[in-house]
Amino acid sequence: MANLHPTQKKLLQLLEDHQEDPLTIRELQDRLNLSSTSLVAHHIQQLEKRGWIKRDPYNPQNYTLLRSPEKGIAFLNLYGLAQCGPDGSLLSGDPVDRIPVSTKLLDFPATEAFMVKARGSSMRPLINEGDLIVARKTNQVPEGRIVVCVNDGVAMIKRFQRSGDIVLLVSENSAEFPAIVAKDDFRIEGEVRRVSSIVR
């Protein structure tokens, strides 16, 4: 912290204080009393370069603090499955919330984690409506794993399988939901690593 510019120290404190309700670039500009948003962007880049924050490559306005005062807690972006972002990726859209999670629950870096809330009953009994899913950002997943993906413009949670050259998206509840053949726009957003069931 000692080698940070005074503005960067204040910026880091603002980011820490507003993790659950992040400030916009304009709001940060006002709080820091800077003349332009480009100066805010410059100081954010410097914090990232020095290892204090990690920005989401899919959506640079989202960030993860790497050295939060609340040690062992990471605020993960929660995305809705209802709508993808502007480039067709779930992760390029705006998160609907930021959820505090103990890093002890993760077996991979928190900077690679995101969350979604499950919809529907196609993955029952493993995943139910409203369950919170923690996934690791990756597009390389072994066959047979459960993934968060986008297919035909729709974000979904499915088991990833192949049949020759065909990619199949398989539901656990296969009696009601037959396998789906992946379309040309199919993309894996991440591998499901943890399911937290809601209280029923």
Q: What is the pLDDT of residues 16-44, one digit of tens each?
A: 888 777 888 899 999 999 999 899 889 88
Q: Where are the domains of the chain?
A: 1-51, 69-196
Q: Please check whether the two domains, 1-51 and 69-196, share a CATH topology.
A: no
pTM for this entry:
0.66
How is domain 1-51 classified at the architecture level of CATH?
Orthogonal Bundle (1.10)
| Integer Cα distance of 92 and 58 in angstroms | 5
**At the top level of CATH, which class does the domain 69-196 belong to?**
mainly beta
The string of pLDDT tens digits covering residues 52-104 is: 887 766 565 667 776 554 457 888 999 888 767 777 788 888 888 888 888 88
